[in-house]
Structures are given as structure tokens and as C-alpha cells.
Structure 1
Amino acid sequence: MATPAKSERANSRTVVLLRDSDRKKLEKLAAKEKVSSGEIIRRSLDTYKTLEARIRKEEEEKMMESTLVMLMDALEGANRSLANTCKRLDELHLQLNP
């Protein structure tokens, strides 16, 4: 992973209490990736933000899809009503002009 730009470098310290099992996982992952534990946590935050955005986008897409289905149903109903009206007008026209 690329090194962050100078303005993006870590510049504050935060104490995080972890369970021993979580600390071991964090240290193992950091060693595997050859980065600091802090970098693993920063990457996790970035991944979390990305996941949050993806979930929000999926929810918006579902809402738009259901809105589209409702609009299509309404349009089908309007088309049926218009077809019935045209049919009735044709019948009336035939009655008025035998």
C-alpha cells in the first residue's frame, strides 16, 4: 500500500484497549503485512468507511428500484384506463353515428 501523503500522516495518539486475542490478531496481521499495528487500524477505518458507503449505495438502489416498480405499476394502470376510455369512446361514437 502506498505511503500516505505528508498531510495525511498520523499525527495523534489514541489508546485503545483490546482483548488479548484481538491484540494478538492485530500484531500477527501487522507482521504479515510488514506494517505497524496503527497502520492496520487506519486501513480498517478506511475499509469501514468504504463498506458503509457501499451499504448506503445498495440501500439507495433498492429504494430506487422499488420506486421504479411502483411507477411502472401506476403507468400500466393508467394505460389500461386509457385503453378502456378509448374503447368506450369508440362505442359511444358508433352509437351516435350509426
Structure 2
Amino acid sequence: MKHLGGAFFTKWLAFASMTGAVDGSEVAPILDKRVITWLREHTTPSEGLSTSRTPSYERYLELLDAWGGPFARTRTQVELAIFELTRDRPAG
């Protein structure tokens, strides 16, 4: 969408696609800086994802499928687990 960043667009896409469960297979995952930062810090080699390129979003979807498929998890369920891992937690 013109004048809107990729991260905003994927957020909009996610909310627009939530026709059933918030973690259903029809929900488009959100690729934003928070997810990209986590992936850069915890995957080897870094996935090299960007919020501004369609091929990057496609690679992100493939990654979520690869991680979730063996465990019968939707893309959004895998992504929600990543979001949970990025939450600030008290030390200790």
C-alpha cells in the first residue's frame, strides 16, 4: 500500500484475515521489526528478512511453515510463540 510501511501492511493484513480464530491457518502472519530482530539474534544463518520486500515476506512464510509443519502448528501459532519469546521479562 502506497505510503504505508511493510510492517504496518502485514499488521493490517493479519487483522483483515482473522475470519475465525486469531491463530487460524487463514491468518496472515505479521512481519515486523520485533520478529526480524528476534530471528537475527536466534537463527543461524540470519534469515536476512526485511519488512519492505515481498520476497522477504514469502521467505518468512516458508520459515514459519518449516518450523510449524512437523508439529501441526499454523504459521500464526509459530509467530505467536516468537512474539511471546520477545516479551520483556523480569530478571531472575
After TM superposition, the score normalised by the length of structure 1 is: 0.29
Where is the helix percentage greater, Structure 1 or Structure 2?
1
Larger Rg: 1
After TM superposition, the score normalised by the length of structure 2 is: 0.30
